[in-house]
Amino acid sequence: MAPKVLVSDKLSETAVQIFRDRGIDVDFQPDLGKDKDRLADVIGDYDGLAIRSATKVTEKILANAHKLKVIARAGIGTDNIDKVAASKKGVIVMNTPFGNMITTAEHAIALMFAVARQIPDANASTHAGKWEKSRFMGTELTAKTLGVIGAGNIGGIVCDRARGLKMKVIAYDPFLSEAKADKMGVEKVELDDVLARADFITLHVPLTDQTRNILSRENLEKTKKGVRIINCARGGLVDEAAVADLLESGHIAGAAFDVFEVEPATDSPLFGLPNVVCTPHLGAATTEAQENVALQVAEQMSDYLLTGAVTNALNMPSVSAEEAKVMGPWIKLAAHLGAFIGQMTDEPVKAINILYDGAVSQMNLPALTSASVAGIMKAVNPEINMVSAPVVAKERGIKISTTHQDKSGVFEGYIKLTVVTDKRERSIGGTIFSDGKPRFIQIKGINIDAEIGAHMLYVTNNDQPGIIGALGQTMGENGVNIANFTLGRSSAGGEAIALLYVDAPVPQKAIDALQSTDLFRQIKPLQFDIG
């Protein structure tokens, strides 16, 4: 059955057609997002939800989203999605951060020009029949210093455009390396340098606990006299009341805001002040940008629902279509390793340690780690997936650590998963053979070579004659057909393991019969999702 997607906001017909062309069953209801009760009633029928800003995806709506796998926002902002609730539900949240980069950067440059030349006030004055040529004395951008807070995707474009305007660009961004700054032709500085040196300051960072009120009253008072402030990023980054006070005192020469702490912004201390340009969150409001983000949403959602490729996800590691093809078997292996340990572990898990060796160590390790953790936790809650598992693990205080190393054995690559509880450590290793199928290659430090099936039986015993015969005879007498049989031992006469791949779940009467022989120390039926 084809995946089913609901489009609950206004998306272009071209984007809707992409869903259809990719074989997705799409339900285009562009006004449904405004009716939260109706949305909550119908959301349970869909695998995907494509939205803009009008749809509010709340915990209540997600509670009814029994099939939902992905929510995709056409645009960068996802404040209208309860991402914590979505993650706990196992729903991927995507956005399209690149579709409106140029548009938003251009808007910041446009506002910079507008505030430098007082264009809105001059326009209003001229429309009013005045000719106040001497009133609107502006300033050039050429040779001025632009301080950019956040030199990522959008900020980087602003830097490039500003250099084209012959401005000197300094950038504050903790994630910007010196090498990247040199390549961009900007000077990497600390925030205090931006405040002290910049003639114009423009912000291009998300709103986080670290960036909230980054231009506080205290920091604004450190700025160069005559500075002009531009904010096309997020409301809450700048103390608007402080900007208003410093404008009236003459310390700040002008300001341009496209975003506000409270939106829609029907009131602001900035409104009505001279040389303040305000626009209603128009950063992404161009025909090209709206079309771009709509098309990206359709492609991203289709890729995920049809191939498993994850792009621009906010609550799980992204996996490209190319990675999905190569990593598919490894992700399955990681999940199987986790499932084995999850089913074998009865005590609360304290820590999960994962070793990636050889070729697999060069892959997308966060995705593999998520798959392993999900496999472990599914034993307790079958609803957990790669999205929700890290969230649940964090809530439970489980420490997750990973190590990767160059090829150290006979296999081109392998994964070793170790779980720590108060009572013991339990480990299992696995690899992918040339046939593309996952194998268990080590359990409790004992080497094995076990093909993985939907139904398996794990047995431990002291190494001694007669074990194979007893296992085979008991299974046969109880109607269990063995598809594959793997043995391993620590040493002659030491601990031994048998792992049986069987055609159907092992009945309790067979387990009881094995236990009655007193030959076996541990007997555990296992199930794996090999679909």
Strands ordered across the beta sheet of 455-462: 482-489, 495-502, 455-462, 520-527
Nearest to 157 by CA among 148, 195, 528: 148
Distance CA 500, CA 517 (A): 18
Phi, psi for 18 (deg, rounded to 5): -60, -45
- Residues designated as active site: 234, 263, 281
With residue 247 as reference, give the H or E element that holds it: helix 240-249
CB of 342 closer than 8 Å to CB of 377: yes
CB of 19 closer than 8 Å to CB of 26: yes
CB of 202 closer than 8 Å to CB of 186: no
Task: Give the chain's length.
Answer: 531
The partner residues of 6 in beta bridges, in order of sequence, read 27, 49
Joined together, the tokens standing for residue 505 give: 């779940």
Q: Which amino acid is at 2?
A: A
Distance CA 95, CA 106 (A): 20
Other beta carbons within 10 angstroms of residue 69's beta carbon come to 20
Joined together, the tokens standing for residue 390 give: 């890290």
The partner residues of 171 in beta bridges, in order of sequence, read 148, 188
With residue 227 as reference, give the H or E element that holds it: strand 227-231
The label of the residue with tokens 């269990």 reads 480
CA distances to 108, 112, 120, 271, 285 from 277, rounded to whole Å, are 11, 9, 7, 9, 17
